[in-house]
Amino acid sequence: MSEPNAGTDVLGMKSNAVYDPQRNGFILNGTKMWITNGTLTGKETGDMFLVYAKTSNENRSDITQFTVEGDMEGFSVGQKINDKLGMRASPTAELVFENVFIPQSNIVGDVNKATLCMMRNLEIERVALAAMAIGIARRALDEMILYSANRPAFGKPNLYAFGQIQKHITESYAEYMAGKSYLYGVSNGLDLSTYGNGLDADGVKLYCAQMAKNVADRAIQVLGGYGYCGEYTVERLWRDAKLLEIGGGTNESHHKNMSRDLLKLDGNKLE
């Protein structure tokens, strides 16, 4: 769904598909950006993609889902996104659609009705990204404990004996457990066939993403110079955690969405 000039504002997408009555299908034009697994080599696309595009100018939300296959004429890789801060094991690409013919069989759902599916998928994605943040925080916490328990300093058998280090570790553990509890609570109550779960899908990602980056930052601090080097993992965890504050909706979008949803709620409905 993301494009060069439409990321968090997904309804601002410019990709469009125009119905061609002579061929009984749609002609798709546009560009998508930051597409995970869009390419491996930078030359060829993946095999198949689920693509959202505007199919009417009447309403901003008139969007349709299409499946686009890798060998369709006019579909190509614009560029492979290199030199990313983090998530470097996940290939990311720009994809270009130039007069790509989409037959009726490649329409997913109803024409102009994909916005609801897109928003529901975003809710699910945000919960999944919160889970990724929990994993990052747990690994960073493990690394902190392992290193500090084995590094002697200032005449003590290990760094773990110092209150400053204990503060980093214990606060990280408490925040990790809070995020994990929030994540499991949202996940256990999530009905994948519904929509309207945005408040806590936004909330759990907002909290867990920031928490994971903070825990990874503390891990770098505990490991000192070693934490700043790739050999000891935690600098990669910090870099990977940063994307979680951007991808799947920025922190700022979560603030906007959550404040809107909270205003709609009667105070008695908050649990």
Q: Which residue has tokens 């529901």?
A: 120
Query: Residue 233 has which token pair?
Result: 């993992």
Q: How many residues does the chain have?
A: 271
Q: If you ran DSSP here, which 8-state letter would residue 203 be given? A: H
Contacts of 54 (CB under 8 A, 6+ apart): 13, 14, 15, 16, 17, 62, 63
**CA distances, 15 to each of 81, 151, 226 (Å):** 20, 55, 46
Per the annotation, the verdict on 58 as an active-site residue is no
Return the H-helix or E-strand segment holding 124.
helix 115-150
Burial profile 4-40: b = 16 or more Cβ within 10 angstroms, e = fewer: eebbbebbebebbbeeeeeeebbbbbbbbbbbeebbe
* Residue 238: Cβ within 10 Å count: 24
List 58, 69, 73, 125, catalytic entry? 125
Cα gap 99→17, rounded to integer Å: 9
Cα gap 139→103, rounded to integer Å: 46
Which of the residues are catalytic? 125
